[in-house]
């Protein structure tokens, strides 16, 4: 019975994430996977099926053992932190219902992940990638599609999921100047549209052999179904080989390139935050380290104290 109650609470929690928290399908799938891995661990740890009673007063020792097991499987600090976050979130759900104490989970510190900076493409490489994106396509309409998708990633800073989630009537008006994008967590942002983006999508529309109604996706696969992210990633891998680009030149790197190149050209960090749809400025701030030389140059030339010091030295 306890096992059945635990599975029922798990299903209720995931439903709450979807219905009340407006969590994305990707987030829900990640949380489900994290919790499943933990329950499988508990089953082995206690030598019996995990039950609700096992979570009633979970100790930090058991959580440490779980993370140690995951590390033994090759999980890095970032994955371990996400695992712990998923378990904590479920325990908080149970605690609110008076079923468990989440004190042990709250006392547990997540492993520190080594900070990694985005690795954007150079301006020249980003332009070449978007221009040559259709080089490997056999059919002209697929070539135009590939150019349009990568142009959206770089020209608007979209995630792959956001570009492939656009409805069939998106970007149909050549006079559009901005587009609303629903990003992570259902957060909506307004993205300006460059003429190059509108032209690339218009060419794809002109050549696409399939009808593009509003209720169906804009970008299609070779047989007319929704274009899959794996196809975009595979095309980018071919471009990397042809252009001699590093393995870090992924479709997502075009989004990083969008932000980095705006910053390098004098873009305001908070504006870039809005364009990317980041909930926190700290997430966007990772881009400042990419071009720290330019930022220091601006500081030295613009800050009153820096100018005064330079004058005194002269």
Using the structure block, give the residue that is written with the tokens 């969590």: 23
Distance CA 145, CA 78 (A): 34
Quote the Cα angle for 216-278-28, to 5°.
60
**Pair of tokens at residue 41:** 């661990």
Q: How far apart are the first and last CA of the chain?
A: 81
Q: Which of 31, 154, 204, 287 is catalytic?
A: 287
Does 36 participate in catalysis according to the annotation?
Answer: no
Strand duo 188-192 + 178-182: pairing: antiparallel
Does 307 participate in catalysis according to the annotation?
Answer: no
Instruction: Determine how many CB atoms are found less than 10 A away from the CB of residue 41.
Output: 21
Does 303 participate in catalysis according to the annotation?
Answer: no
Q: Which of 119, 184, 205, 294 is catalytic?
A: 184
Q: Which of 10, 240, 256, 278 is catalytic?
A: 278
Does 300 participate in catalysis according to the annotation?
Answer: no
Q: Which of 70, 240, 255, 256 is catalytic?
A: 255
Q: Which of 3, 119, 252, 294 is catalytic?
A: 252
Beta strands in the chain (DSSP E): 178-182, 188-192
Does 287 participate in catalysis according to the annotation?
Answer: yes
Q: Which of 159, 189, 240, 261 is catalytic?
A: 159
Q: Which residues pair with 182 in a beta bridge?
A: 188
Does 159 participate in catalysis according to the annotation?
Answer: yes
Distance CA 270, CA 255 (A): 16
- The answer for residues whose C-beta is within 8 angstroms of residue 271's C-beta and 6 or more apart is none
Catalytic residues: 159, 184, 252, 255, 278, 287
């Amino acid at each position: 019975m306890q096992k059945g109650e635990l599975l029922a609470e798990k299903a209720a929690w995931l439903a709450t994430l979807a219905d009340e928290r407006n969590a994305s399908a990707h987030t829900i799938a990640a949380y489900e996977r994290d919790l499943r891995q933990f329950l499988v661990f508990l089953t082995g740890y206690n030598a019996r099926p995990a039950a609700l009673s096992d979570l009633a007063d979970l100790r930090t020792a058991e959580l440490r053992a779980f993370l140690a097991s995951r590390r033994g499987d090759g999980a890095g600090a970032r994955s371990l932190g996400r695992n712990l976050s998923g378990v904590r979130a479920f325990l908080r759900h149970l605690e609110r219902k008076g079923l468990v104490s989440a004190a042990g989970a709250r006392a547990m510190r997540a492993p520190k992940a080594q900070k990694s900076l985005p690795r954007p493409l150079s301006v020249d490489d980003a332009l070449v990638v978007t221009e040559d994106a259709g080089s490997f396509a056999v059919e002209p309409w697929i070539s135009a599609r590939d150019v349009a998708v990568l142009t959206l990633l770089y020209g608007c800073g979209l995630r792959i999921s956001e570009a492939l989630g656009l409805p069939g009537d998106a970007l149909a008006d050549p006079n559009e100047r901005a587009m609303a994008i629903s990003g992570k967590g259902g957060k909506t942002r307004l993205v300006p549209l460059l003429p190059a983006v509108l032209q690339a999508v218009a060419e794809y529309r002109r050549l696409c052999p399939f009808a593009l109604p509003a209720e169906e996706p804009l970008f299609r696969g070779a047989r007319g179904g929704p274009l899959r992210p794996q196809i975009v990633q595979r095309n980018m891998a071919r471009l990397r080989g042809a252009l001699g680009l590093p393995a870090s030149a992924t479709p997502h790197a075009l989004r990083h390139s969008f932000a980095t190149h705006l910053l390098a050209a004098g873009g305001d960090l908070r504006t870039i935050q809005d364009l990317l749809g980041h909930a926190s400025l700290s997430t966007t701030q990772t881009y400042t380290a990419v071009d720290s030389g330019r930022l220091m140059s601006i500081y030295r030339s613009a800050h009153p104290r820096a100018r005064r010091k330079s004058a005194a030295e002269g």
